[in-house]
Amino acid sequence: MKKIVVAGEILVEIMADTAGNGFRAPLALTGPYPSGAPAIFIDQVARMGQPCGIISMVGNDDFGRMNTERLAADGVDISAICIDHERPTGSAFVRYRADGSRDFVFNIRHSACGTLPKSDTVDALLASAHHLHVMGSSLSSPEIIAFNIDAARAICAKGGTVSFDPNLRKEILDAPGMGEAMQAILSATDIFLPSGDEITLLTKAKDEAGAVAELLARGIRAIVHKQGSTGVAYHDAAGRRFVPAFKVQEVDPTGAGDCFGGAFTALWLRGEDIDRALTLAAAAGALAVTERGPMEGAATLDNIRAFAASQGRFV
Amino acid sequence: MKKIVVAGEILVEIMADTAGNGFRAPLALTGPYPSGAPAIFIDQVARMGQPCGIISMVGNDDFGRMNTERLAADGVDISAICIDHERPTGSAFVRYRADGSRDFVFNIRHSACGTLPKSDTVDALLASAHHLHVMGSSLSSPEIIAFNIDAARAICAKGGTVSFDPNLRKEILDAPGMGEAMQAILSATDIFLPSGDEITLLTKAKDEAGAVAELLARGIRAIVHKQGSTGVAYHDAAGRRFVPAFKVQEVDPTGAGDCFGGAFTALWLRGEDIDRALTLAAAAGALAVTERGPMEGAATLDNIRAFAASQGRFV
C-alpha cells in the first residue's frame, strides 16, 4: 500500500454554540476539536486504512497532545509531529452567522504550526512516502512553500505522485511569489482537487472547459472538481463524468472537502475504479458534515461503504 | 485626581464549564471574557472613578475589540492600546480541577501583548501619569522589564509613586536577570502588594517579620500583604494592622487580588484613611469572586461601599 504524506497546520477548533456575529461577548462554546485542513485530510486517509503521516508542529500543551493522540489512534504516522516548546498549538474560533457565513478568530501563523519542523524524523517520513498531498491553506510562508515545492519535486523524481487541493482565497494569490509557487506545485501535480471557482484560479482560461483543457494539457492526470452539496465533476484524458452528492442533514460543513479529498486520494492510489472512488469519496464528504467538529465525521471505509449502500448506491 | 498607568497583558479568558483535568477532549466552554492581570487591575481603578490608562497590544480581532471596548466603557484611557495586525489577541483557557487547582493553555508571549507598543500615545500617557502600577505577571521579556524599570524611575523622578504586585512564580525569578529586575522595581516602589508567600520572595529575610522590616528599611511606604479569604495584613512605619476578608460565596476567584490592588491603590492615592481603604479594597476583592469571569466582578465605589455596609462594615 502506498504511503501518503502531508505537511501543514494542526489546530484546535473552538465552536460557538449559537449562530450570530463574532466573539465580542462571552458565549457558550464547545471545544477543543481536532482540526487543521491537512490534519483532517490525513485523518480521513488513515481511516481508509492507507499508510500515511503528517509533518507539523504543535505546542507543549493539551491542545497539541489531543491532536497528536487522535491522529495516532486513527492510524496516522505521527513521528514527524514535533513539539514547539515556545509557541502554543494553533487555534481557530469559529462562529456561524444566521446566513451560513462564518466569523473566525485565528491563531495560526504565530502558533507552533506557523513553521515546519526540521528533524531527522521529517526526512525519514518523506523518504518513506509514495505520495505527497499539498494543501493550499498550509502555504502560509515562503519557508513552507519552498518545503512543499521541494518535497513535490523529490516525490516526482522517485516515481511518486502528488495531489493538490488549492483551498485558498484569491487574495492570497496576490502575495509576492505566491502565483509562481502555485504554478510550481501544479507542475508536479497528478490529482488536482479544486472546489467551485478554484477550477480557474490557476489557469489562464477563465471558463471551466478551457481551464480543464489547460490543466490536462500540462500533465495533470485527474481533475476532481468539488461542487459541495451538488456533487463532483471529474475530468481526465478519457473525458468528463459527474457524481451527485449524497443528501444528508448538515450539522457542520467544516472538513467535508478535506474528507472527500483524503478518501478519493487513498482510493485512487489503490487503482480503484474512478466511479466507485468518486462515489465513496462523496459518501465520505457527506458523512463528514453529519457530525459536529471538523474531524469528527471522518469514517472508516467499511462505514462509508455501508452508508452509500444505505442510500441505495452500492459500491 | 491622580492618574494611574499600567503596562501589560490584555487577554481573553475561555473557561471550562465543568471541573476536571485539562483540555484533551471537546468540552463545554464559556468565553471570551476580558482578562489579563494588569487589565483587571486598571478596570477596577477606573470603576473607582480614578483617572487611569493601560499600555498594551491587542490583535486585529474580536477578542481585542471586546477588551478595548470594555475598558473604554469602564473609563480606562485606551489611547495607548495599539493594534498588532500580525498577531492575535492573547488568550488563556482555564479549567478548574476538582481540588480547586487549575489547568491552563496560554497564548501570551507570542500573542499581540507579548510586546509593548512603541507610539507617541504611549509617551503621552506616561507623561500624564502620576502613578505607575507594575504587575509581575507582565514582566515576561527583557524589553517589558526594561520598559517598566525606566517608567518607574521616570515617575519617581517627577515626584510620582509606584505600586508593585509581584504576582509571579518562584521559577520565573530564576530566569537570567529577573532577580535584578525585581530588585530595581522594588527600589522604586511605594506600595508593595504581595500575596501569601510572595512577602519573602524578594527579601533576604525568609520570615514575615524580617521581610517586613527589610522592605520598610529600603523605603517602601506601604506593605499590603494579601492573604486571600483570610484577609489582609498592612505594614508601614507606624506598625501593623489586619483587616479580615468578607465572607462571600466564591464563584470564580480569578481577578480577586487584582481588584483588591486596584481599589486600594486608587484609595491610597486619594489619601483615604488606611483602615477604610483596606476594608473597601477587601470588599472589592470579595465582590470580584462572586461573578464568573476575571473582570466581571469589578464594582463601582458606590457598590463596594454598599456591599461593605450590607455586611455590617460601614466605611
Domain A4-310 has CATH 1.20.200.10: no
Mean pLDDT, to the nearest integer, of B145-161?
97
Q: How high is the pLDDT of residue B211?
A: 98
CB-based contact B276:B252 (threshold 8 Å): no
**Cell numbers standing for residue B246:** 468578607
Phi/psi class of residue A293: alpha, beta or left (left: φ > 0; alpha: ψ in -120 to 50)? Answer: left
CB contact under 8 A, A32 and B23: yes
Which chain A residue lies closest to B293 (C-alpha atoms)? A26
pLDDT band at A17 (very low <50, low <70, confident <90, very high): very high
Per-residue pLDDT at A155 exceeds 80: yes
Per the prediction, chain B carries an average pLDDT of 96
Q: How high is the pLDDT of residue A255?
A: 95
**Separation of alpha carbons B281 and B264, rounded Å:** 5
Which chain B residue lies closest to A68 (C-alpha atoms)? B24
Neighbouring CB atoms inside 10 A of A89's CB total: 32
Q: How high is the pLDDT of residue B177?
A: 85
Is A291 an interface residue toward B (CB < 8 Å)?
Answer: no
Per-residue pLDDT at A172 exceeds 80: no
Kindly state the percentage of chain A with pLDDT values over 70: 100
Q: How high is the pLDDT of residue B37?
A: 97
Which positions in chain A touch B105 (Cβ < 8 Å)? 59, 61-63, 88-89
Q: How high is the pLDDT of residue B175?
A: 82
**Cell numbers standing for residue A87:** 509557541
Residue A112: which of A26, A190, A9 has the closest Cα?
A: A9
Per-residue pLDDT at B172 exceeds 80: no
Mean pLDDT, to the nearest integer, of A163-172?
85
Phi/psi class of residue B8: alpha, beta or left (left: φ > 0; alpha: ψ in -120 to 50)? Answer: left
Q: How high is the pLDDT of residue A121?
A: 98
pLDDT band at B143 (very low <50, low <70, confident <90, very high): very high
Mean pLDDT, to the nearest integer, of A177-197?
95
Q: How high is the pLDDT of residue B140?
A: 87
Interface with chain A: mutation pick from B107, B109, B113, highest number of A CBs within 10 Å: B107
Q: How high is the pLDDT of residue A315?
A: 83
Q: How high is the pLDDT of residue A297?
A: 96
Q: How high is the pLDDT of residue A170?
A: 74
Alpha helices, DSSP H, located in A88-187: 120-128, 142-157, 170-173, 178-187
Mean pLDDT, to the nearest integer, of B192-214?
96
Q: How high is the pLDDT of residue B52?
A: 98
Neighbouring CB atoms inside 10 A of A22's CB total: 18
Is A105 an interface residue toward B (CB < 8 Å)?
Answer: yes
pLDDT band at B55 (very low <50, low <70, confident <90, very high): very high
**Separation of alpha carbons A172 and A178, rounded Å:** 7
**Separation of alpha carbons B251 and A144, rounded Å:** 46
Report the residue from B61, B106, B109 with minimal CB separation from A105: B61
For residue range A103-152, what is the model confidence (pLDDT) as tens digits? 999 999 999 999 999 999 999 999 999 999 999 999 989 999 999 999 99
pLDDT band at B185 (very low <50, low <70, confident <90, very high): very high
Q: How high is the pLDDT of residue A313?
A: 93
DSSP character string of B294-308: TTTT---HHHHHHHH
Residue A139: which of A105, A103, A180 has the closest Cα?
A: A180
Residue ranges covered by each domain of chain B? 36-84+115-307
CATH code for residues B36-84+115-307: 3.40.1190.20
**Cell numbers standing for residue A148:** 512543499
**Separation of alpha carbons A277 and A283, rounded Å:** 10
Q: What is the pTM of this model?
A: 0.94
Residue B145 identity: I
Per-residue pLDDT at B169 exceeds 80: no
Mean pLDDT, to the nearest integer, of B286-310?
97
Is A110 an interface residue toward B (CB < 8 Å)?
Answer: yes
Q: How high is the pLDDT of residue A166?
A: 94
Strands of the sheet containing A81-84, edge to edge, are A81-84, A52-59, A4-7, A131-135, A161-165, A191-192, A222-226, A231-236, A239-244
Interface with chain B: mutation pick from A107, A108, A111, A296, highest number of B CBs within 10 Å: A107
Is A251 an interface residue toward B (CB < 8 Å)?
Answer: no
Q: How high is the pLDDT of residue A100?
A: 86
Per-residue pLDDT at B171 exceeds 80: no
CB contact under 8 A, A30 and B33: no
Which chain B residue lies closest to A30 (C-alpha atoms)? B28
**Separation of alpha carbons B305 and B308, rounded Å:** 5
Mean pLDDT, to the nearest integer, of B122-151?
96
Mean pLDDT, to the nearest integer, of A262-291?
98
CB contact under 8 A, A23 and B107: no
CB contact under 8 A, B28 and A33: no
Is A69 an interface residue toward B (CB < 8 Å)?
Answer: yes
Q: How high is the pLDDT of residue A191?
A: 98
Q: How high is the pLDDT of residue A173?
A: 81
